[in-house]
Amino acid sequence: MGAFIPCSQVASGIFDVDSMKSKRRETGQSGHSVFERLTCSVEETQTFGQKLGRILQGADVVALHGDLGSGKTTLVQGIAQGLGYDPSTIKSPTFVLMREYSGSKPFVHLDGYRLEGVVQVAWLDTELMFAPNKITLVEWADRFADLLPDDYLEIRLQYVSTHRRRIQVIPHGQRSPGIVAELIKSQGSAMSGRQSASSESVC
């Protein structure tokens, strides 16, 4: 049996919680790499978000998918921290639909949980939501499917257990694959000198 290593040491994009097989793989017809990460705590999910936040630039759009309690808002808080904001000030705009944050890296936080169908989103100001100088973070992104630009980063969060979440990052368009490449690069150094993919993780 392989050696046990802490979950925080499991390489992003390398391990699968079930089979421990490589999880850096191809998706769809674009041939872009899908990046997958297993986190074992709220703190790890936020740390992952921080790393993503440091990479994002104006006009980048992040579309988050996942059931209630899967960690979408937690991840957004981490992204905000990576953008230079206090994560404790980031609240999901479930009842107001959208919040704007001004700073050196301004961003818009959307939450479509209470929306139902295209009719309810038709009145939204897409120029404000997807401004070229702002980063846009979208929770319940499936409610905004017809409004998303061609280039965006899709993030799917899955509840694994009380503390564990599986995060899958899928690029769409021209710039997003570069964001995934930067994520892989930022995580890859964590594997230097560590166990091979046959190792087992524990959370």
From the centroid of its chain, how far is CA 6?
22
Is 80 exceeded by the pLDDT of residue 48? yes
Tell me how far apart the alpha carbons of residues 194 and 146 are, in angstroms, rounded to a whole number. Answer: 43
DSSP states of 112-156: -TT--HHHHHTTS-HHHHT-TTSEEEEESGGGGTTTS-SSEEEEE
**Poorest-pLDDT segment among 64-68, 120-124, 162-166, 176-180:** 120-124
On average, the pLDDT of the chain sits at 79
Residue 181 within a domain: yes
Q: Is the pLDDT of residue 4 over 50?
A: no
* Closest listed residue to residue 107, CA positions, set 65, 71, 139: 139
Average pLDDT over residues 72-100: 93
- Tell me, yes or no, whether 7 lies in a domain: no
Within a domain: 23 = no
Domain membership of residue 84 (yes or no) is yes
Which amino acid would we find at residue 65?
H
- Is 2 a member of any domain? no
Q: pLDDT value at position 188?
A: 64
Domain assignment present for residue 78? The answer is yes
Q: How many domains does the chain have?
A: 1
- Residues 103 and 130 sit within 8 Å (Cβ to Cβ): no
Residue 60 pLDDT more than 70?
A: yes
Domain assignment of residue 152, yes or no: yes
- Domain of residue 43 covers 28-189
pTM for the whole structure: 0.78
Q: 4 or 95: whose pLDDT is higher?
A: 95
Q: What is the domain-level CATH number for residue 127?
A: 3.40.50.300
C-alpha R_g of the chain: 17
- Residue 157 is predicted with a pLDDT of 97
- What tens digit of pLDDT does each residue of 115-174 get? 765 545 666 778 888 999 999 999 999 988 888 999 999 999 999 999 899 999 999 999
